[in-house]
Structure 1
Amino acid sequence: MVPLGAEALGLARPATGGRYGSMGAVPTVARWWSSRTDPQRIDLYTRWSYYSTLVLLPPLLLLAVAADWAGPGRWVVLLLGAATLATTGACLWLTHRGFADRTARPDPTALTVAVVAGAVTVGAAVPATADGPSPALPWVVGLVSAAVLLGLSVTVPTRPLCAGAAAGGLLAGGLSLAEGNPPAAALVVGVSIAVTLVALATAFRFTVWILDVVQEMERTRGVQAQLAVAEERLRFARDLHDVMGRNLSAIAVKSQLAAELVRRGREGAVAELTDISRVAEESLREVRDVVRGYRGSDLPGELAGARSVLRAAGVEVTVTGEDDAVALPTAVQTALGWVVREAVTNVLRHSRARTCTIGLSTSGGGADLRVVNDGVTADGDRGAGLTGLAERLAATGGRLSARREGDRFVLTASVPVGVRV
């Protein structure tokens, strides 16, 4: 019989052979880490720096006391261990709550447990050490103070932390002096512990500050992205309004004219319907250009289109300055072309105009366009078109003025000739 291997039995081989077996867990951890964003990595690093440092408190206390261990009773050992674990747990809870809500104050219950358990830890360390002066007790005070300050440093500012470090150094120096050490030695011990606590607390506080800055930058990026999306939506809505407003108004006017010609049996209906088809096809092309974001506006073409549309609506039109329009830069023609388009839309939609005058002039390094029409309706509401048009001109350094003079409406736009868009 042919022996069956692992493949024949349906068993998968290890990812990497050899004496060390599979190393599949390492890529899994790497993928998990690489899937996190930079702010998330910094957050994880900061949190676990706190947690790992606080977890080291019990063994560090044991090492500090072990040098002067005096063979205490079992109850002292149990009390010291329980108090140390309680202090560590309370400080871990303070840290966890601080990272969960950076704006909240420290949990008073956890803080009380940490302080009381820390005091019991120091008290239990006294009978656990040898008789006479012991250098271990001041450092026990320093370790307990460091744990409490670390738990507070997530939410408490630097100055209160430095004050707490100074208080811890003072307690350690006082305990050293009470044990019979010389005042100079007690002073050195107290200052050393205070400086160590200040350095530790400010270092961890600095990491929290860095985390706050990174998270704020991430939130700022998110806000900027949302603003960019909102601005692009406004731009698209404005462009779509400016493109379709006049064309749809022209289609409506020409449709009414064609219907009237058909009812009266007069010639010209076919021409008007053909023109409607042309305007519709042009609108479709312009909408596609708006979607792609490449649409421009030719001022002479806009002036000619305005004359044709308004005359078809029965408005007597006078256009001046067409020769100056050809000589203007493309950017200026684009800006003023939008003004002509919006002005014609307003004449058709918001007035019963009989006459309309469109004048273009160039002087003093700028181009001025003035559109005046009569037959203004009572409400005089021009909708959102002029608002978007004013924003468009303001972006190019130009300005827009719109006012009503009796039954006449005057729209004036000025654009610097040297504008770039």
Structure 2
Amino acid sequence: MADGTGLLSLRRYTWWTLTGAVVSVLVIFAGGWVVRGDAPAWSRLLGGAALAVSTVAGVALLRRRLAGGARAHATPRGWLAAAAAGSAVAGALQLGSGEYGRWAVAPAITVAVAATFRPARGQRWLLGGATAAAAVPGTVVALLAGDGGPLYAALFPAGLVLFTGWTTLGPLWAWDVAGRLHEARRLAAELAVKDERLRFAADLHDIQGHHLQVIALKSELAARLAEADPARAAGEMREVRRLASDALQETRALVQGYRRTTLEEEISNATRVLAAADIDARMDLATAPAELSATGRHLLGLVMREATTNVLRHSRAARADVRLLVDGGRAHLRVRNDGAAPAAGGAPGTGLAALAERLVAAGGELTWRRDGERFEVAATLPVGAP
């Protein structure tokens, strides 16, 4: 999964959850003061404009944060300044009209969004300082007004900052963890490929290095004996030819063993890979493939590998069904998945087309079809395929 089907879904869920919560809280709790009739019209108009600026800036900041991660981009200072200015104006107007609790909604959200761009230690310092600072304005205004509510004016804004920070940073923390796990999985896959290449290179070096070294020594000896002892030189060259033939055969055997695949291995690998991609893989292996020839296992294994690759690359599948049975002297393999992406130009992939030619040459058949969001690959092959 390039982006990862589950990771993409988590990103969408996180985006809509956070932006929906931010907009709802600002509109319902902070915006309720704007439509209240006892505040001056100019104050409500200015406060509404400030809340609108704070809301738009907060949504833009969250979008940037989810798009690039905590440290992928520098903090967008322009949006942050707009959010801070809007929330400060809206909060000051509401506090001046006696809203000792509701005035802190917009500033608390701005602080929480700003904290998402900070490292863990910076988040704690920012939230801690904002919590302590949030208790001061309401307390001062309440004491000057003498309305008897300084305790509420001190505790509610402070608690609101902590609660907003917790509810905002929690989903983003989960998103960051999922992103790091996805990247770790990608790196693990790349390392596995590199390890396999190194293993193959080491095996090839062991075969070729030994034979080439001996061939070089015997060729040098034969060159020295060409005039003094032609018969022995001819014998050494015959030995060189034998060594070259052995090296060629062993190299071919290594490549064949490296590239050879079996149906059992590919089904086992598909089970692990699909499960790692959060795809519910259902395996219906009613008949063991023991009756299949080695060629049949190899060809159906290639089909299984290609079908699994298509599920991962070209779909957002939640479920895949694999069925294998032997009936009437023929083996039938079917791989079906949901979440298929729309066809690009209507042309089948070159991998399936090439496999179809190989199965036809072995007396079998490979077909694939799309039905809405469902995609199915079906292969049939004689049990004793040559």
Shorter-chain TM-score range: 0.5 to 0.7
How far 1:149 sits from its partner (Å)?
Answer: 1.8
Residue 38 of structure 1 corresponds to 6
Instruction: Name the aligned partner's letter for residue 216 of structure 2.
Output: A
Partner of 2:57: 90
The Cα of 1:89 is off from its aligned counterpart by 2.2
Matched, 1:254 2:222: no
Query: Does the CA contact (< 8 Å) of 2:109 and 2:164 recur in 1?
Result: no
Query: Equivalents in 2 of 1:175, 1:274: separation in Å?
Result: 105
Q: Distance in 2 between matches of 1:60 and 1:44?
A: 25
How far residue 143 of structure 1 moved from its aligned partner, in angstroms, is 1.0
RMSD: 3.3
| Structure 1 residues 34 and 283: alpha-carbon distance in aligned structure 2, compared to 1, 3 A threshold | closer
* Distance in structure 2 (CA, Å) of the matches to 1:70 and 1:34: 55
The Cα of 1:268 is off from its aligned counterpart by 4.4
Q: Measure the CA separation in 2 of the matches of 1:241 and 1:35.
A: 37
CA pair 285-236 structure 1, distance change in 2 beyond 3 A: same
3-state SS of the aligned residue for 1:163? helix
Q: 1:144 aligns with which of 106, 113, 116?
A: 106
Aligned to 2:231: 267
**Structure of greater relative contact order (alpha carbons < 8 Å, 6+ residues apart):** 2
Structure 1 stretches lacking a partner, 5+ long: 1-32, 295-421
Question: Which residue number in structure 1 is paired with residue 129 of structure 2?
Answer: 163
- Distance in 2 between residues matched to 1:273 and 1:190, nearest whole Å: 98
Aligned to 2:175: 211
Partners of 1:158 and 1:202 within 8 A in 2: no
Cα displacement string for residues 351-383 of structure 1 (whole angstroms, at most 9, x for unaligned residues) = xxxxxxxxxxxxxxxxxxxxxxxxxxxxxxxxx
**2:218–2:237 CA contact under 8 A, matched in 1:** yes
Name the structure where helix makes up a greater proportion of residues. Answer: 2
Aligned residues: 251
Unaligned runs of 5+ in 2: 260-386
Which residue identity lines up with residue 166 of structure 1 in the other structure?
A
Which of 237, 240, 250 is residue 204 of structure 2 equivalent to?
240
Q: Determine which of 241, 247, 252 is the counterpart of 1:288.
A: 252
Q: CA shift at 1:271, angstroms? A: 4.1
Is the 2:223–2:233 contact (alpha carbons within 8 Å) kept by the matching residues of 1? yes
User: Structure 1 residues 211 and 265, CA, compared in 2 at 3 Å: closer, same or farther?
Assistant: same
Q: Look up the SS of the partner of 2:210 in the other structure.
A: helix
Task: Describe how 1:14-25 pairs up with structure 2 within 5 A.
Answer: none
Is the contact between residue 149 and residue 165 of structure 1 (CA under 8 Å) also seen in structure 2?
no
CA contact (8 A) 2:208 2:247 kept: yes
In the other structure, the counterpart of 1:121 is 90
- Does the C-alpha gap of structure 1 residues 173 and 46 become closer, same or farther in structure 2, counting only changes over 3 Å? farther
1:60-80 per-position Cα deviation (integer Å, ceiling 9, x unaligned): 3232555x531633x333212
1 CA distance for matches of 2:30 and 2:142?
Answer: 17
Alpha-carbon distance in 2 for matches of 1:108, 1:236: 51
Residues 47, 89 of structure 2: 8 Å contact kept? yes
Please give the alpha-carbon distance, in whole angstroms, between the structure 1 residues aligned to 2:19 and 2:64: 12
Of 102, 106, 126 in structure 1, the residue corresponding to residue 70 of structure 2 is 102
CA offsets, 1:249-293, max 9 Å, x none? 222333344455554574345544443332222212322344435
Q: SS where residue 181 of structure 1 aligns?
A: coil
Q: Structure 1-normalised TM-score?
A: 0.51
SS at match of 2:231: coil
Say which SS state the counterpart of residue 267 (structure 1) adopts: helix
Partner of 2:22: 54
C-alpha spacing 1:191/1:123, structure 2 compared with 1 (3 Å) = closer
Q: Retained in 1: the 8 A contact 2:109–2:165?
A: no
CA contact (8 A) 1:87 1:118 kept: yes
Is 2:169 aligned against 1:201?
no
Q: Check conservation: 2:91, 2:107, Cα contact below 8 A.
A: no
C-alpha separation in 2, matches of 1:34 and 1:226: 13
**1:236 and 1:51 mapped to 2: Cα distance?**
51
CA distance in 1, matches of 2:157, 2:28: 19
Shift of 1:245: 1.5
Q: Which amino acid aligns with 1:216?
A: R
Corresponding residue for 1:225?
Answer: 189
Structure of higher CA gyration radius: 1
Name the amino acid aligned to 2:108.
A
1:50 aligned counterpart, secondary structure: helix
Contact 1:95 1:152 in 2 (8 A): no
1:41-65: per-residue Cα shift (whole Å, max 9, x none)?
A: 3333333333222222134323255
Q: Deviations over 1:327-355 (max 9, x none)?
A: xxxxxxxxxxxxxxxxxxxxxxxxxxxxx
Deviation for aligned residue 1:247? 0.6
C-alpha contact (below 8 Å) 1:98/1:154 kept by paired residues:
yes
Q: Does the 8 A contact of 2:4 with 2:182 survive in 1?
A: no
Name the SS of the counterpart of 1:138 in structure 2. coil
